[in-house]
Amino acid sequence: MEFPNDLRYTKTDEWIRVEGNQATLGITDFAQSQLSDIVFVEVRPAAGEKLAKGDAFAAVESVKAASDVYTPVSGKVAQTNEALSEKPETVNSDPYGAAWMLRLELARPEETAELMDAAAYQAYCQERSH
């Protein structure tokens, strides 16, 4: 199980990479392993749309479960990963790389401070695996 150090994490299993004023979002390795074979991904917003912290912006479905994906930060959508609707299985194989879901311009960068770092998130995952 991977927990890249340069990312921050949410309690609902999303990861966020912050580069300057830009943030990239996806779901974690732990999340994809819980869902197992992912068959469908829908990233809803269009470029230019504004999201509030906590908004659900995507849906991920496997054969046995369905999950909403939430943004931990507010901002304006810059780009969405169109390739995921064609190849949803990318979320299983490369959750932190090719399976990025959304890029946005942060409206309030201070929101990222509340998020877990890799060590805290790894501990959180271990807690839940019992």
What are the residues binding another protein (CB under 8 A)? Answer: 37, 39-40, 42, 61-66, 68, 88
Query: Between 110 and 130, whose beta carbon lies closer to another protein?
Result: 130
CB of 65 to another protein, least distance (A): 6
Query: Between 5 and 130, whose beta carbon lies closer to another protein?
Result: 130
SS (H, E, C) the chain: CCCCCCCEECCCCEEEEEECCEEEEEECHHHHHHHCCEEEEEECCCCCCEECCCCEEEEEEECCCEEEEECCCCEEEEEECCHHHHCCCHHHHCCCCCCCCEEEEECCHHHHHHCECHHHHHHHHHHHCC
Query: Between 35 and 106, whose beta carbon lies closer to another protein?
Result: 35
Contact between residue 66 and residue 14 where contact means Cβ atoms under 8 Å apart: no
Query: Between 61 and 94, whose beta carbon lies closer to another protein?
Result: 61
